């Protein structure tokens, strides 16, 4: 797996399978290696045995989910601003090639996600951006940032609702979050294979009265968020096994 900080010549085009960029935290061009990630049990919600649930093969990171909630959550050690070299640009693209392998009959129970959050203040106050999250056979993009009972209710901001992506046995696809600051407003859009999914969201304008706290959490913590990948399940099913394969992750 490689992650890069750089400029996409044409962000509308999917990466070539042979494209293998590198990441740099600074001008020295430090390469990102497995040690630059951390693997955890998501607050003891899953059983993370890194040797059994994760592997690296030819630049591809694999995260497996197996019966008994055995899996790992994978997070970049560096925050978004650090990945940009400590100086946030006015716009950017966060991208990953992802393939989800498993039995398609288990698609409604599998819960793979490509997302971001700032863990420093704790969830959900630090905000959460779900770039692509598959739930009950449907993939969406969400913004979360309000504690309490409304965390998954009226305060959640839904965008990019196309139902596409992260489907079991559907091959490899490129997922992107494209973002920009326009006059102190943050615009977010999600793409699959170069095509926009659903609509864009502009914060704080897109937030109604119930969603203002969520919008503010995203605005306050965006630059401090970390990129995350995980395989999880909506319920512990003894037969459920699937795997997420991640490559060509870029921050540009």
* Confidence tier at 87 by pLDDT (50, 70, 90): confident
How many structural domains compose the chain? Answer: 1
Phi, psi dihedrals of residue 60, rounded to the nearest 5°: -110, 125
Could you tell me the pTM of the whole model? 0.87
Contacts of 81 by beta carbon, 8 Å cutoff, 6+ apart: 87, 88, 223, 224
Could you tell me which residue, 59 or 218, shows the higher pLDDT? 218
Q: Which CATH number fits the domain that encloses residue 14? A: 2.60.120.200
Query: What confidence category does residue 7 fall into, taking pLDDT thresholds of 50, 70 and 90?
Result: very low
List of residues 6+ apart from 207 with CB closer than 8 A: 157, 214, 215
Q: Per-residue pLDDT tens for 172-192?
A: 999 999 999 988 899 999 999
What residue ranges in 109-233 does DSSP mark as E strands? 113-117, 128-135, 138-144, 157-159, 172-182, 185-192, 195-196, 201-203, 226-230
Beta-strand pair 242-251/91-102: antiparallel
Q: Tell me which residue range forms the domain holding 200.
A: 3-251
* Alpha carbon distance 224, 220 (integer Å): 9
């Amino acid at each position: 797996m490689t992650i890069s900080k750089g400029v996409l010549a044409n962000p509308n085009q999917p990466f070539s399978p042979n494209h293998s960029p590198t990441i740099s935290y600074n001008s020295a061009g430090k390469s990102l290696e497995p040690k630059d990630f951390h693997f955890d049990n998501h607050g003891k919600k899953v059983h993370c045995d890194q040797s059994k649930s994760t592997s690296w093969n030819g630049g591809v990171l694999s995260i497996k989910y197996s019966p008994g909630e055995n899996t790992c959550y994978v997070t970049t050690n560096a925050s978004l601003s650090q990945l940009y070299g400590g100086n946030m640009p006015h716009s950017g693209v966060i991208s990953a090639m992802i393939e989800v392998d498993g039995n398609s009959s288990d698609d409604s129970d599998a819960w793979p996600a490509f997302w971001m959050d700032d863990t420093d203040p704790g969830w959900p106050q630090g905000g959460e951006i779900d770039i692509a999250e598959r739930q009950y056979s449907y993939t969406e993009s969400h913004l979360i940032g309000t504690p309490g009972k409304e965390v998954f209710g009226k305060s959640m901001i839904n965008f990019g609702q196309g139902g596409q992506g992260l489907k079991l046995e559907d091959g490899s696809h490129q997922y992107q979050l494209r973002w920009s600051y326009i006059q102190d407003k943050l615009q977010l859009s999600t793409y699959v294979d170069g095509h926009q999914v659903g609509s864009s969201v502009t914060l704080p304008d897109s937030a109604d009265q119930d969603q203002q706290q969520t919008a503010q959490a995203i605005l306050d913590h965006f630059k401090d968020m970390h990129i995350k990948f995980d395989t999880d399940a909506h319920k512990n099913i003894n037969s459920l096994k699937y795997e997420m394969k991640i490559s060509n992750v870029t921050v540009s």
